[in-house]
């Protein structure tokens, strides 16, 4: 069973529909027990990093997500669900208690784009990916494939080998990470038409 984490932020139904189109039942849940018992887990999300961590903590979902990842079962993070895997974020770093902490599953942090004109923030729309250390189950997606992005911050992993795909937007940035059973993308597979469907299908069969 694919389970999609509901913490009150994100386009959950569109993610669920993308999995259903791929032929898989996908359940939206905020139940810690169901998150622990999932065969595959998806952490989506849009919005602010600190607010998302607050909601995960308030719903007692932080440890179930960490335990699932440690179990070795397939995990997919999408957009904010990628950023939350890291240790901290510049989004909200002006708070009195300092930068908000993330799940700390991957080493690194989330940083804000600092781009010259004419690049706009947020980075929004279609852009290309290029493989760095893509997992074997995604090697059927060719370099130059287009995916859909909406974000003002990007992840800066400490380990180069965690970078699965990179994208150019005024500078090269990490647009997806992969390590062991973890794959997470800054782009939205559920909004990325044929290539997004291909990615979801591959995730279901790895």
Q: What is the mean pLDDT of each run of 10 residues along the chain (206 residues)?
A: 94 96 97 98 94 96 98 98 97 73 98 94 98 95 97 98 98 98 98 98 95
| Encoded tokens for 59 | 């719903």
Active site residue 133: no
Measured in whole angstroms, the distance separating CA 116 from the mean position of its chain's CA atoms is 26
| Half-sphere exposure at residue 24, Cβ-oriented, CA atoms within 13 angstroms | 23
What is the structure's pLDDT at 95? 66
Round to whole Å and give the CA distance between 93 and 95.
5
A 10 A CB-CB count for 107 gives 12
Active site residue 79: yes
Domains in the chain with CATH codes: 2-205 (3.40.50.880)
Cα–Cα distances (Å) from 28 to 12, 17, 135, 195, 199, in that order, read 7, 11, 26, 23, 20
Catalytic-role residue among 123, 168, 188, 201: 188
What is the structure's pLDDT at 192? 98
What is the structure's pLDDT at 77? 98
Catalytic-role residue among 79, 91, 151, 174: 79
Round to whole Å and give the CA distance between 22 and 192.
14
Asked if 177 and 157 touch (Cβ cutoff 8 Å), the reply is: yes
Q: Report angle CA 125, 128, 129 to the nearest 5 degrees.
A: 125
Cα end-to-end distance, the chain, whole Å: 14
What is the structure's pLDDT at 92? 72
Catalytic-role residue among 91, 123, 174, 190: 190
How does strand 123-128 pair with strand 108-112? unpaired
What is the structure's pLDDT at 28? 98
Active site residue 123: no
Asked if 90 and 109 touch (Cβ cutoff 8 Å), the reply is: yes
Query: pTM, whole model, 2 decimals?
Result: 0.96
């Amino acid at each position: 069973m694919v389970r999609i984490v509901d913490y009150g932020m994100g386009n959950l139904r569109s993610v669920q529909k993308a999995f259903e189109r791929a032929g898989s039942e996908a359940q939206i849940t905020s139940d810690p027990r169901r998150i622990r018992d999932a065969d595959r887990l998806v952490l989506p999300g849009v919005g602010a990093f600190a607010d998302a961590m607050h909601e995960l903590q308030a719903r007692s979902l932080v440890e179930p997500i960490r335990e699932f990842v440690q179990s070795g079962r397939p995990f997919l993070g999408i957009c904010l669900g990628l950023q939350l895997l890291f240790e901290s974020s510049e989004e909200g770093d002006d708070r009195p208690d300092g930068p908000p902490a993330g799940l700390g599953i991957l080493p690194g942090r989330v940083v804000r784009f600092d781009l010259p004109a004419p690049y706009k923030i947020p980075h929004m729309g279609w852009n290309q990916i290029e493989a760095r250390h893509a997992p074997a189950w995604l090697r059927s997606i060719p370099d130059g494939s287009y995916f859909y992005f909406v974000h003002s911050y990007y992840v800066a992993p400490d380990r180069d080998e965690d970078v699965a795909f990179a994208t150019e937007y005024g500078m090269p940035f990490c647009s997806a990470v992969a390590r062991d059973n973890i794959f997470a993308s800054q782009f939205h597979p559920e909004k990325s038409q044929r290539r997004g469907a291909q990615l979801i299908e591959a995730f279901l069969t790895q």
